[in-house]
Chains A and B, each alone.
Chain A
Amino acid sequence: GAVVSQHPSWVICKSGTSVKIECRSLDFQATTMFWYRQFPKQSLMLMATSNEGSKATYEQGVEKDKFLINHASLTLSTLTVTSAHPEDSSFYICSASSGHGRYTFGSGTRLTVV
């Protein structure tokens, strides 16, 4: 049980375009979803926390207009990287929690902006 599906697994986009990443909890209801960013050889950095039906809470230094997060249902959250630039290239990972102390991670999305 507790499977999180993240799509796409990799994406290449041109500078200035927007990219949407989806995170779905397949067999449980995720009251809270988290979005992380990870650079090579580094740890996961929390970008934002989203609760179903409410606005996401962003960590300090993360631009909310740049990284749009939507958590419209208990099984789906999306992260949209708007007006992407090469410095946005990174590995983005979502995590879903049902609130019982377990966090299930997606398989990650490798974003390359050219």
Chain B
Amino acid sequence: GESVGLHLPTLSVQEGDNSIINCAYSNSASDYFIWYKQESGKGPQFIIDIRSNMDKRQGQRVTVLLNKTVKHLSLQIAATQPGDSAVYFCAETYGNNRLAFGKGNQVVVIP
């Protein structure tokens, strides 16, 4: 389940199940969005991106959905594996190609 408080929201997922991570973005003018995975003590790693002229994009085991009406992004991970345990951030581009990160969601995969 999910918990929110002083720590990052955490999603606990059974290995093999699908994961869905949600993100609300702030700028209605943003036209490019990226999902990143960050493991402890490392920099963010690109997972998948989507432009505002699309509402869905699929990669290997991952799908990103974009709902511009409500400014919402989601990342779906199919058949979650232990190696998927990490913190996931959505990011949006704004002025001068700067990238703003969302709050992050911790995914814990239970073997």
Give the interface of A toward B (CB within 8 A): 4, 6, 32, 34, 36, 41-46, 49, 57, 91, 93, 95, 97, 99, 101-108, 110
The answer to whether A105 touches B34 (Cβ under 8 A) is no
Give the interface of B toward A (CB within 8 A): 6-8, 32, 34, 36, 41-46, 49, 89, 93, 96-104
The answer to whether B32 touches A101 (Cβ under 8 A) is yes
Q: Return the chain B residue nearest A43 by Cβ.
A: B101
Cα distance A30–B60 when bound, in Å? Answer: 27
17 residue pairs A–B, Cβ–Cβ below 8 Å: A6-B43, A32-B97, A34-B98, A41-B6, A41-B8, A43-B101, A43-B104, A44-B101, A46-B101, A95-B43, A95-B99, A102-B46, A103-B46, A105-B36, A105-B44, A107-B43, A110-B41
Knowing A43-B103, A44-B89, say if A108 contacts B43 (CB, 8 Å): yes
A101 proximity list for chain B (CB < 8 A): 32, 49, 93, 97
In-complex Cβ contact of B45 among A32, A91, A105 (8 A): A105
A102 proximity list for chain B (CB < 8 A): 46
B45 proximity list for chain A (CB < 8 A): 105
In-complex Cβ contact of B42 among A4, A42, A44, A108 (8 A): A108
Min CB distance, B58 to chain A, in Å?
A: 18
Cα distance A109–B104 when bound, in Å? Answer: 20
Cα distance A72–B63 when bound, in Å? Answer: 39
A108 proximity list for chain B (CB < 8 A): 41-43
Cα distance A42–B6 when bound, in Å? Answer: 10
Cα distance A4–B6 when bound, in Å? Answer: 32
B49 proximity list for chain A (CB < 8 A): 101
Cα distance A39–B56 when bound, in Å? Answer: 32
Cα distance A104–B44 when bound, in Å? Answer: 8
The answer to whether A41 touches B89 (Cβ under 8 A) is no
Cα distance A105–B44 when bound, in Å? Answer: 6
The answer to whether A103 touches B34 (Cβ under 8 A) is yes
